[in-house]
Amino acid sequence: MIDRITKLPLLLLLILTLLSGYGCSVINSFAVPNQQKITSMLEQHQYKNVLLVTEKQLAKQLEPDTLEYWQSIDQQAKTAAAEFEQSKASELKQLMRRNEWAQANKEIAFLNQNLPASESLDALFAEFDSERSGYLDALSRSLVKLEAKLLPQTLPLYERMFKAQPDNAAALTRLQQERDKRDRVLLSMRAYAEQAESQKEFGLALNYFRTIQRFDDSPQVLEDVKRLRGLLARQQKALIASDKLRELTTAQKQKLADYGAALSKQEWIAAKSLLDDMLKQRPSDGELLGQKTYLAEVFATEVTRAKELGESFYSTGNIEQALSIWKAALPMSPDDVQLTGNIERAERILEKVKTLKQSGSY
């Protein structure tokens, strides 16, 4: 009996020792990913996590076979990560070109989470941020232009609604929202104009100020318009006389002079025709490309004005005048569905009137 009692602590000690060894092996099995787990992480492109594991393992004192294994995993993960980054970079650029930003955002998040840091990856992220910023800026400008187009029509309506019911809190709130929108549009347009002027894109700046005039026809705005017209005219003269244009032929210089004259007379269609001819001969000329951007802005503004003016004539029954205005604007935007629809609508009415007159029923 005494022997059994004496042997009991020794038995317990042996059991505890065995359990302790087993416990350590279990803990290690969780602390060190097995080969199957590593393979799974590689298949899921979790290269950053794999490299973190290999870094920890290689920092230890390892047996030669184990060391060789982790070195091979480390090299495999780095090679696979570089290849994956290269393939994804190509896909990402295609998404950006197609403006598929929702998917592009997901791809960027995945790459950031699963790829190790590198100069090439940083450059890809920087390119993505730049392209997205440009896209968002273009959207913001489009929204501002759209608001600038609609506000001159909607704001007076909200003002009339409020005047008809001055005690209506909802009408007052909606009117104030429209006024706030107008103030934001004016602020944005001024910022765009200042940016364009700072880059010596005087034609573009002038176009922005023409939009501002629709809301604010103050002496200061008129002075800005006059100043920008002067700057644009001087820019054209300087361009013709610059050393850069010494390489131009006499005919090319004359065409450029004709283009400047068409701008000053606001003969936009003629100006575009001259500019297109010059760009065929000098497709990479930065000055000419800047003028192309300017004319695109002018065309958009002029077409919008033509639509509004024609609609005002149409609503008062002056169909022929409305049709004339819309047709005059059509060469500036031949694919504009609204403009072509307005023309077809006016022509149908005029044709019907003509038929009625001929039949004596009018």
Total domain count, the chain: 3
Q: How confident is the model at residue 259 (pLDDT cuts 50, 70, 90)?
A: confident
The answer on pLDDT for 245 being more than 70 is no
The answer to whether position 354 is within a domain reads: no
Say which DSSP state 336 is in: -
Mean pLDDT for the stretch of residues 68-82: 93
178 and 112 both lie in a single domain:
no
pLDDT digit string (tens) for 139-176?
A: 888 888 888 888 888 888 999 999 999 999 999 999 99
The answer to whether position 128 is within a domain reads: yes
Identify the pLDDT of residue 70.
Answer: 92
In this structure, the chain runs to a length of 362
82 and 123 both lie in a single domain:
no
108 and 157 both lie in a single domain:
no
Closest to 302 (Cα-Cα) out of 329, 276, 320, 283 = 329
176 and 205 both lie in a single domain:
yes
Identify the pLDDT of residue 356.
Answer: 83
Query: CA-CA distance, 325 to 304, in Å (whole number)?
Result: 11
Which stretches within 242-285 are classed as H helix? 250-264, 268-281
Other residues' Cβ atoms within 10 Å of the Cβ of residue 243: 6
177 and 200 both lie in a single domain:
yes
Better pLDDT: 218 or 15: 218
pLDDT digit string (tens) for 16-44?
A: 444 444 444 333 433 456 788 999 999 99
Q: How confident is the model at residue 241 (pLDDT cuts 50, 70, 90)?
A: low
The answer to whether position 313 is within a domain reads: no
13 and 62 both lie in a single domain:
no
Q: Which of 247-251, 273-277, 289-293 has the highest mean pLDDT?
A: 273-277
134 and 212 both lie in a single domain:
yes
Say which DSSP state 59 is in: T
Lowest mean pLDDT among 84-93, 189-198, 302-311: 302-311
220 and 122 both lie in a single domain:
yes
Other residues' Cβ atoms within 10 Å of the Cβ of residue 335: 7
Evaluate whether 122 touches 185 at the Cβ level (below 8 Å): no
AA identity, residue 309? L
Query: CA-CA distance, 262 to 150, in Å (whole number)?
Result: 29
Q: Which of 215, 232, 249 is the last residue of a domain?
A: 232
Q: Which of 84, 116, 148 is the last residue of a domain?
A: 116
The answer to whether position 243 is within a domain reads: no
Mean pLDDT for the stretch of residues 3-24: 45
Identify the pLDDT of residue 239.
Answer: 67
The answer on pLDDT for 244 being more than 80 is no
Side-chain-facing half-sphere of 265: CA atoms under 13 Å: 11
Say which DSSP state 318 is in: -
pLDDT digit string (tens) for 43-66?
A: 999 999 999 999 999 999 989 989
Q: Extract the tokens encoding 153.
A: 């029509």
The answer on pLDDT for 4 being more than 60 is no
Lowest mean pLDDT among 31-35, 101-105, 107-111, 125-129: 31-35
Q: How far is CA 312 from CA 151, 308, 320, 340, in A?
A: 16, 6, 12, 17
Q: Which of 232, 247, 263 is the last residue of a domain?
A: 232
Say which DSSP state 282 is in: -
Say which DSSP state 184 is in: H
Range of the domain at 4: 1-29
Mean pLDDT for the stretch of residues 245-251: 70
Evaluate whether 259 touches 278 at the Cβ level (below 8 Å): yes
The answer to whether position 320 is within a domain reads: no
Cα dihedral value 299, 300, 306, 312, nearest 10: -170
The answer to whether position 288 is within a domain reads: no
Identify the pLDDT of residue 56.
Answer: 93
25 and 41 both lie in a single domain:
no
pTM of this structure: 0.56
Cα dihedral value 120, 123, 124, 125, nearest 10: 130
The answer to whether position 294 is within a domain reads: no
133 and 225 both lie in a single domain:
yes
Evaluate whether 235 touches 200 at the Cβ level (below 8 Å): yes
Q: Extract the tokens encoding 151.
A: 């506000």
The three-state secondary structure class of 362 is: coil
Mean pLDDT over each residue of the chain, to the nearest integer: 83
CA angle 324, 214, 347 (to 5 degrees): 20
The answer to whether position 296 is within a domain reads: no
67 and 148 both lie in a single domain:
no
Identify the pLDDT of residue 9.
Answer: 53
Identify the pLDDT of residue 300.
Answer: 84
Better pLDDT: 233 or 247: 233
Query: CA-CA distance, 118 to 97, in Å (whole number)?
Result: 24
DSSP 107-174: HHHHHHHHS---HHHHHHHHHHHHHHHHHHHHHHHHHHHHHHHHHHHHHHHHHHHHHH-TT-HHHHHH
AA identity, residue 58? L
Identify the pLDDT of residue 27.
Answer: 33
Better pLDDT: 180 or 251: 180
The answer on pLDDT for 84 being more than 80 is yes
Identify the pLDDT of residue 16.
Answer: 45
Query: CA-CA distance, 176 to 183, in Å (whole number)?
Result: 10
Query: CA-CA distance, 312 to 342, in Å (whole number)?
Result: 12
190 and 157 both lie in a single domain:
yes
